[in-house]
Amino acid sequence: MNVVSRLLNEMGLILILGYVAAAILGLEALYAVVRFLRLFVLPKAGFRYNLSKLGQWAIVTGSTDGIGKGYAKALARRGLNVYLISRNYSKLQDVEKEIKAINDKIDVKILAIDFSKLSDIYSQIESEIANLDIGVLVNNVGVSCAYPEYYLDIDKQVTQNIVNVNIVSINEMTRVVLPKMVAKKKGAIINIASISAETPTPLLAVYAASKSYVDSVTLAFQKEYQSKGIIIQSVLPAFVCSNMSKIRRSSLFAPSADTFATSALNTVGIANRTHGYWPHELQACITNLLPRSAKISLYFSQLSGLRVKALKYLTKQK
């Protein structure tokens, strides 16, 4: 009898634990649905943060291609004046014309800066924007390797450029604009990381690590300055059509830069950390179910294949 009672008690405990687990899973599912609606459905219905109340100007680094250019155009559509900072002056002029064609009521300024060079460039930027009311900064500028490669086979200057462009620019551009945002108690800084920030990525090791830094420092800065009225957001895109990704044709999981940037900009003021675009959010949810070691092995296998293809292509070009 005692044995039967004990079994019933244990079965009751297991049943209770089952109910608790089901309740937790149900709450997590409900949270995911609510988050999805807030990030990707309600903004399309007009429920989005009014960025123009943060200031008259938006700065976008790395704005002549890809996600940066997409953000610049999306900000112009939202009525902000846009300050484009990138390396190639000719391309900046072309993007300036495109943006003016989107919204001829805004002002557009351009500044040619090579973020791989550290000599006084941030003093120059600070001087150029000194008299502007900056409401939004998009830290987008970034570089990677030409193709996946083993660390010792990558030129030292390439890895140094990744550090200078992907990491130092985040720190220094934030230092340039944040003081005035704090003084007026409003502003938004959007830092473009990458989905690769979530997992160590063999053959793109330094790039992925640099984006992990971007994600980490962004969340830390947000905690430090949220009480000052500042929004600091980390965006972790997966593949997007751009020169860097070398993807030319858009698809559901590799959208055009304009599609991605418009979607991601709608999440500002709603989420401090986002993948910006619902298929990328779904992709992250699925891959994050895998153990980290499995993801590392999967990425190594995939990138090894891309490396072989790249090397074959380069051999044919010789």
**Alpha carbon distance 217, 212 (integer Å):** 9
Name the strand (E) or helix (H) holding 135. strand 134-139
Which candidate in 83, 122, 207, 277 is catalytic? 207
Question: For residue 88, what are the contacts with CB-CB under 8 A and spacing of at least 6?
Answer: 64, 112
* Selection from 213, 226, 218 nearest residue 269 by Cα: 226
At CA 247, angle to CA 245 and CA 251, rounded to 5?
120
Task: Write b or e for each residue in 164-189: b if 16 or more Cβ atoms lie within 10 A of its Cβ, otherwise e.
Answer: bbbbbbbebbbebbbeebeeeeebbb
Catalytic status, residue 207:
yes
Q: What's 242's DSSP letter?
A: B
Rg (CA), the chain: 23
Number of H helices, E strands in the chain: 10, 7
Check if the beta carbon of residue 283 is closer than 8 Å to that of residue 238. yes
Chain CA centroid to CA 292, Å:
21
Q: Which residues are catalytic?
A: 207
